[in-house]
A and B are shown apart, each in its own frame.
Chain A
């Protein structure tokens, strides 16, 4: 089956720093999504990407859908304490009938 390689696995940064994480795949995906998950909660959608090359922002978050459709990155600028959590990339092969394939997650820890 498809696999998503997400890196880094964890990040320890200072408040105010910028963050970058990425996902790569051995397969082509038609949609890339980025989620944030807090402990004991379901994932919350941050950004959805639908076209190769697409660059989308949501506040301090920016994500891009790679040209090859096999990769995506998420950047967070000027991190704040509430950015702490686990970030997952997810890819979808086809249309609405397909479930998502998730990366292993990036655990973001912000030191004051």
Chain B
């Protein structure tokens, strides 16, 4: 299947700082990528849809000014968690679609202390 790479896999940051997470499609181009959040022992919840060359579309309840998404190329989308707080600690996972199938990155474990 297609390969989606996410970096970093783990990050610990201080409260109030910003963290950037990268999502790359390694062997295909993706005009659309998706960002999900998963709290412990819970399911994945769609946060936003990242569109290459245009603004991201956010799901209801997700603050666009807090979770900045940039999709500057056909192989890279970034999610920046701004002014992070402990409640933002979670597992963030990106996804890109190829041939009708959604492939996921390895996920980023964010811990805000």
Contact = CB atoms under 8 A, between A and B. Distances in A.
B43 A43 contact: no
Per DSSP, chain A at the interface is loop
Contacts, number: 58
B100 A100 contact: no
B100 A103 contact: no
Given A99-B49, A100-B34, A105-B43, A40 B109 contact: yes
Interface residues of A, number: 25
Interface of B: 1, 4, 6, 32, 34, 36, 42-46, 49, 59-60, 91, 93, 95, 97, 100-107, 109
Interface of A: 1, 31, 33, 35, 40-45, 48, 50, 88, 90, 92, 96-105
Given A96-B32, A97-B49, 4 more contacts: A1-B60, A35-B104, A100-B46, A102-B44
29 contacts: A33-B101, A33-B102, A41-B106, A42-B4, A42-B93, A42-B104, A43-B93, A43-B104, A44-B104, A45-B101, A45-B102, A48-B101, A88-B44, A90-B102, A92-B102, A96-B32, A99-B34, A99-B49, A99-B95, A100-B34, A100-B46, A100-B95, A102-B43, A102-B44, A102-B45, A103-B43, A104-B42, A104-B43, A105-B43
